[in-house]
Structure 1
Amino acid sequence: MCDNQLITSIFTEFQKNLDEEQDLREVIRGICKEVDQVSREAVTILQVIHHSEEGIAPACLRVRELFVKTREGYAKLKNAVPSTDFYKYHDHWRFMTQRYCYLVALTIWLEKGILATHETVADVIGISAVEQKEGFHLDVEDYLVGLLQMCTELSRLAVNAVTRGDYARPLQISKFVMELHAGFRLLNLKNDHLRKRFDALKYDVKKIEEVVYDLSIRGLLPKTEAA
């Protein structure tokens, strides 16, 4: 085979691989679009927590129902992505997964007032929590970003709870977010995106502290907490 034929053969094979990869990316984008739409619907449903205390429990139930669709979507994604290429295509679902981590964590906190663990979040959306050399899993950084997004939403809830006369909720939020903040301070964060998100947490903490302080000086704290 002459040099010209050899080069043509090599680059023809390259083009074939590129075409196959592009086709796979289109499949992944299609699945992510469907799954992401479900997350946006869940975000809309949970906005009721800022307006109605009575609407929180029904909203959580509706979001739980949507998580069933989420599991189905991630199952499709897992089947489409080659087990050895998780990080090659990770950017397609990174931000979507971070949003789901936030949604699951917020829902569980609203239901039970506790932190949703990495394993719990992974189980809810139907993927593995264990980072493996091969296989689809919930990246730890995606989980942590989701928790930080939840803190921002809780700081907003602390303000809105006061406007509707719920003075106990900000105290509950303050205790939880402060504990979470202390946990994040134990981490030696080097990832730029995650570090920036963590740096923003201090503003959420400050906003919540201001709400609690304002309640305190106005004498509006629940008696048990004030004591």
Structure 2
Amino acid sequence: MSVTEMFSSIQGSLSADQDVREDIRKVVQALEQTGREILTVLQSVHQTAGFKEIPSKCERARELFSTVRTQIAELKTKFPTEQYYRFHEHWRFVLQRLAFLATFVVYLETETLVVREEVAKILGIEVVREKGFHLDVEDYLAGVLIMASELSRLAVNSVTAGDYTRPLRISNFINGLDSGFRLLNLKNDPLRKRYDGLKYDVKKIEEVVYDLSIRGLAKDP
């Protein structure tokens, strides 16, 4: 094979790879848009009247997750199954955001932490790497940490809405979450940085609870 033929072959491989990345990018953009729609629905729970609408907002978010499952099913067809981590960076961020949205919906519904298997089910993907497109442990944990920040905001807005018991429940939940993360030996730099932010969320919620306590408004439900 001549040098020209060799480099022509390489160019063909590069072009094919670029086509795959472009196809992935288009589907990921659609996923990001659906994620923004779900977030818009859930953001309304921070408003004063939103607390009464939590069940209906969660129901609407669940409906939108059906679109997410359809889009992820399409994404799976855009690359070979065994090359998941080769293209992982293209959807890592949006998958973490979707994991956050799924955990937030379940928390609003049950005030509990949803397991990774259930989040994967909501998204229509696997948890076992060998089965192909899956929810990585790090992506799940990143989603949980994003939810913690959202809950610290919810604690503040609960007081504004006159719901004085919710911040206590959120505080208990976040403290439990913090205890769980302390059991992990995190060496993943991005995940470690997100975990460092959890300390500020804990402090912020504790300040809300303390303020309620000195005002005599904090009563255990």
Q: CA RMSD in A?
A: 1.0
The alignment partner of 2:52 has SS state of: coil
**Equivalent residues in 2 for 1:1-227 (5 A)?**
5-51=1-47, 52-132=50-130, 135-222=132-219, 224=220
> C-alpha deviations, 1:104-149, integer Å up to 9, x for none?
00000000111111100001000001122x6211111111000000
1: CA distance, partners of 2:72 / 2:138: 18
**Identical residues among aligned pairs (%):** 53
> C-alpha deviations, 1:129-186, integer Å up to 9, x for none?
1122x62111111110000000000000000000111001101100111101111111
2: CA distance, partners of 1:47 / 1:74: 23
- Per-residue deviation at 1:9? 1.8
1: CA distance, partners of 2:129 / 2:86: 15
1: CA distance, partners of 2:158 / 2:124: 32
Q: What TM-score do the two structures reach when normalised by structure 2?
A: 0.97
> C-alpha deviations, 1:182-227, integer Å up to 9, x for none?
11111111111000000010000000000011111110012x45xx
2: CA distance, partners of 1:53 / 1:136: 35
2: CA distance, partners of 1:140 / 1:81: 21
The alignment partner of 1:80 has SS state of: coil
2: CA distance, partners of 1:84 / 1:9: 29
1: CA distance, partners of 2:79 / 2:212: 51
Q: What TM-score do the two structures reach when normalised by structure 1?
A: 0.94
Aligned residues: 219
2: CA distance, partners of 1:68 / 1:114: 22
Structure 1 stretches lacking a partner, 5+ long: none
